Structure 1
C-alpha cells in the first residue's frame, strides 16, 4: 500500500503542535472511533487533562498511546514525531547524539527512541520471506580493534546476508548477526528468512551446505575476480552496508549491530519509495506493540 511522501515543510505543517499529533494518532488507531480494549464498548468519556478515555461500560481508562510504540513514554508526541521524521527522511540515518540535539532530549532518551524504532523496523521486515533466486553469503562486520584480517579478525561479528536477485536489480534483503558460521546458525537463518524450495546461490563454504536440505542449492568455488559475476547483488549489499555504518556511525560494535542491520534492511527494501518512509515508519509506530526500555 502506497503512503504519502513526506517533505520537511509538509511534516512541519501537519504536526506543528502536540494536539496535531494526538489527533492523528487517535484517527489512525481508532479508525472507526473509540473501542475499549477491556470490553469492546465504543462509547467513552474523554479526560482531557490526562489525555485519557474512560469506557462508559466497564470504566476502564485508556490512553490513545497505550498499545503503541509510544506507550509509557515521558517525552511529547511532538518530539516522537520529529524523531520519526529525522530517522526516516535521512537515508544515511541519524546518530543518537545528533537526534538528542534536534529534539532536545538527553542521549539516553534519544538512544532509546532509536532502539524502539529500529526494533519495529526489524519486526516489520521479518514478516517477509525471500523468494526466487537468492544470493547468500557471510561477512565480518564491526569491531574497532586492529588485528589480523579474515575470519579470525578480533572484535568482529559474523553476519549472514541474503539478497533476492531480480535479473538487473536486487530485490529484498535480510541480514542477521550470528555467533559463528555453522550448520545450526545457517539453518536457523534460512528457516526464518527464506521460503522453502527457492534457488539459492552461494560460495562453497562448507557450513552453507545445509541450505540444500530445504532449498535448491548451488555453490561455486569462485576466484576473487569472478565473485561479482556469481554473487553480484549480495556483495553490493555488503558494500552499501559498510558505507552506511561508517558514514553515520563511524564504525560500530557488536552490542547494537543487529539494530543497525534492521534499519539498513528496512531502508534498502524501500529504496524505491524512500520519500514514503517517514509516514510508513509513523504508522508502524502506531500499530506496533510497545518495546521494552531495557
Structure 2
C-alpha cells in the first residue's frame, strides 16, 4: 500500500529545530530575500524605487541614496512595527503552517513565550496575507459550489419537554452566517461569507469563467446557474455522487473548516469568520505541498502584503 504524502519524509522539509539553528542573521537574510526577490535580497527603496541604499547596521535599517528615506526589511509590509525577532517570526510561520486544522493563538503564545495578544494579532495578519492570494482569483474548469452555516450556536434546553427546535427562526440567535465556497476539482478555491447561501452564491458565480462546468446540490437558489453555465445537480437525499455530479470537494473544505471551528478554536466570532474561511481555503489549496514550501510561500505573501489597517494597533484601539 502506497504511503500517503503527508506521512512521508518529503512532506517534512522544515522544523522548529531547523529554524532556531538558523540564528537571527540567517533568518534576517531570508526575510530580505522574500522582500526583494528580484534583487536577490538587496534593498530597494519602498518610496522612490531606487536600488542604491546603504545599511545602518546598528539598527538593521537602510537609507536610500536618492531620497534619503530610512526603511527596514519589514517597512510597509504586514510585519511593519514588529517587535518579535526574525527567528521568532519564522518560527511562528512554521508552527502556523504545520497545523492541519489551524493553530490556536493561545497555543502559539505558549510555544513562542509571548503574550496571547501578540499571538492573536500575528495569526490574523497571516490569515490576511493568505486571503490576498484569492483576491483576483477566477475559477474555471470543473467547479463545485456549496454553502454551510457557522456560528450563532444556541444551546438546547436541558429538559426533554422543553427542547427548542433550532430550525425555527424564533429559536435562533441571528448571528448565524453562511460560508459559500467555489472550488475547482484538483485546483483552487475561493470563499465568501454572507447572510444566506443565495447571496454568497451570486458573488462566487461572478468569479467563475463562463465556459466552466458547475456542480451544485438541489437547492432552489442554484437554479439560476443553468442560464450561465453547464450545470450539473446532485440530490443529497438520494446520494452524494452519481459518478459525475457531486460537491464532495466543497464538502471536504467544509470538513476542514468545521474541525477548525469545533476542535481548534472552539469559537469563531462573526466578524472574523471570513478570515478563518480564507485560511481553510489556503490550507486546502496547498495541502499537497511540503511544509517548508508552505512556510516560504506564506512568508513571501506576508512580505508582499501592505500594512494591515485592520490589525495594526488592534489592541490599542480595543482598549481606547
Q: TM-score, normalised by structure 2?
A: 0.79
CA 1:39/1:158 → structure 2, altered by over 3 Å: closer, same or farther? Answer: closer
CA 1:148/1:118 → structure 2, altered by over 3 Å: closer, same or farther? Answer: farther
Note the alpha carbon deviations across 1:233-277, whole angstroms, 9 max, x for none: 322332232123222112433232111111111111111114221
- Kept in 2, the 8 Å contact 1:228–1:235? The answer is no
Instruction: Report what 2:202 is aligned to.
Output: 187
Instruction: Report what 2:29 is aligned to.
Output: 23
| Structure 2: runs of 5 or more not aligned | 1-10, 156-163, 315-320
Question: How many residues are treated as equivalent by the alignment?
Answer: 283
| Structure 1: runs of 5 or more not aligned | none
- Kept in 2, the 8 Å contact 1:135–1:162? The answer is yes
Equivalent residue for 2:302, pick from 275, 285, 288: 285
Question: What SS class does the counterpart of residue 93 from structure 1 fall into?
Answer: coil
CA 1:11/1:79 → structure 2, altered by over 3 Å: closer, same or farther? Answer: closer
Question: Alpha carbon RMSD of aligned pairs, Å?
Answer: 2.5
- Kept in 2, the 8 Å contact 1:144–1:253? The answer is no
CA 1:57/1:142 → structure 2, altered by over 3 Å: closer, same or farther? Answer: same
Between the aligned partners of 1:234 and 1:41, the Cα distance in structure 2 is 46
CA 1:160/1:42 → structure 2, altered by over 3 Å: closer, same or farther? Answer: closer
Equivalent residue for 2:120, pick from 111, 115, 138: 111
**Residue 34 (1) aligns with residue 43 (2):** yes
Question: What SS class does the counterpart of residue 206 from structure 2 fall into?
Answer: helix
Between the aligned partners of 1:283 and 1:274, the Cα distance in structure 2 is 16
Note the alpha carbon deviations across 1:137-172, whole angstroms, 9 max, x for none: 22112233225445855442112122223xxxx543
- Kept in 2, the 8 Å contact 1:267–1:274? The answer is no
- Kept in 1, the 8 Å contact 2:34–2:299? The answer is no
Instruction: Report what 2:74 is aligned to.
Output: 65
Note the alpha carbon deviations across 1:97-123, whole angstroms, 9 max, x for none: 111122222222211101110011111
Aligned pairs for 1:202-217 (under 5 A) are: 202-217=216-231
Equivalent residue for 2:21, pick from 2, 13, 20: 13
- Kept in 2, the 8 Å contact 1:144–1:252? The answer is no
Q: TM-score, normalised by structure 1?
A: 0.85
Between the aligned partners of 1:205 and 1:43, the Cα distance in structure 2 is 59
Aligned pairs for 1:90-129 (under 5 A) are: 90-129=99-138
**Superposition deviation, residue 61 in structure 1:** 1.3
Note the alpha carbon deviations across 1:182-217, whole angstroms, 9 max, x for none: 3x432222223x222211121232222333343223
Aligned pairs for 1:1-294 (under 5 A) are: 5-14=13-22, 16-17=23-24, 19-31=25-37, 32=39, 33-146=42-155, 148-150=165-167, 152=169, 153-154=172-173, 155-165=175-185, 170-182=186-198, 184-192=199-207, 194-220=208-234, 222-229=235-242, 230-275=246-291, 276-292=293-309, 293=311, 294=314
